[in-house]
Amino acid sequence: MTQTAQNISVGTKTIQVSEIFGPTIQGEGALIGKPTVFVRTGGCDYRCSWCDSLYAVLPEHKAEWHAMDTRQIFAEVERLSGHAPLLVTLSGGNPAIQPLEGLIDLGHEHGYTFAIETQGSVAQPWFAKLDYLTLSPKPPSSKQVTRWERLDRSILYATNARHTHEIQINLKIVIFDEDDYAYARYVAERYPAIPMYLQAGNHTPPQQAEEIDVSGILQRMDWLIQRTIADRWYGATVLPQLHTLLWGNKRGV
């Protein structure tokens, strides 16, 4: 369910929100299967060729987003969760471009935990307050360029947090072809201490929510498994995009 919002009072920071929904499960990465409420923000500094959430990325969808403050967002999270603390996943677009520090602080006060999924193109000091940081740099098939110094800084901010609390940092890369696989190998070599998760990409256009090519995705996943085993890349974890297999490109699940 998409959250609607009233205008925000003057003088407060606003967060552009595309949708808030759940509880559902996390469909990918290290937290796959974990119950969560999603806060999907609007706006992104990337334009990935295979993006499955363009409604939260492209400026032409801005009229569908809602300017909300921290308390309004958290009130909706609590309503959806029945006031039972659980994981809140901050997604996008790129949620790192939004002022989310206050939401994390408020949620922590009430026992909620927070995960973010971001490509690492915008590093924020408040990454140090997260419980889980999933960095998903985009491989060549995305047609985007990785700014390694920004990814380095994102990891540095989160690593510094370990002096005050435990934070789990993971890398997640969507794989479509051999070039993407080679990119993932490079990322793993660059950050050997960070767990790596690989996922077979969904090549079905987002507008075809009911007609995704499941067999094609599973074939790519099988290829990816065989590729990592043949290379003896035993440090990588290969996972499906569970939400894609269950619900296709539907929104709000």
Binding positions are 25-27, 40, 44, 48, 50-53, 91, 93, 136-138
Residue 188, both tokens? 């793993």
- Annotated binding-site ranges for substrate: 25-27, 40, 91
- Annotated binding-site ranges for [4Fe-4S] cluster: 44, 48, 51
Over the Cα atoms of the chain, what is R_g? 18
The full length of the chain comes to 253
- Annotated binding-site ranges for Mg(2+): 53
Residue 82 has what DSSP assignment?
Answer: T
Contacts of 194 (CB under 8 A, 6+ apart): 135, 155, 169, 170, 171
String of DSSP letters for 24-74: EE--SGGGTT-EEEEEEE---S---TT-S-GGGT-GGGGGGSEEE-HHHHH
- Annotated binding-site ranges for S-adenosyl-L-methionine: 50-52, 93, 136-138
Q: Is the separation of the CB atoms in 25 and 36 below 8 Å?
A: yes
Contacts of 221 (CB under 8 A, 6+ apart): 199, 200, 238, 240
Q: Residue 66 half-sphere exposure, CB side, CA atoms within 13 Å?
A: 18
Task: Decide: helix, strand or coil at residue 241.
Answer: coil
The angle formed by the CA atoms of residues 4, 8 and 9, to the nearest 5 degrees, is 155
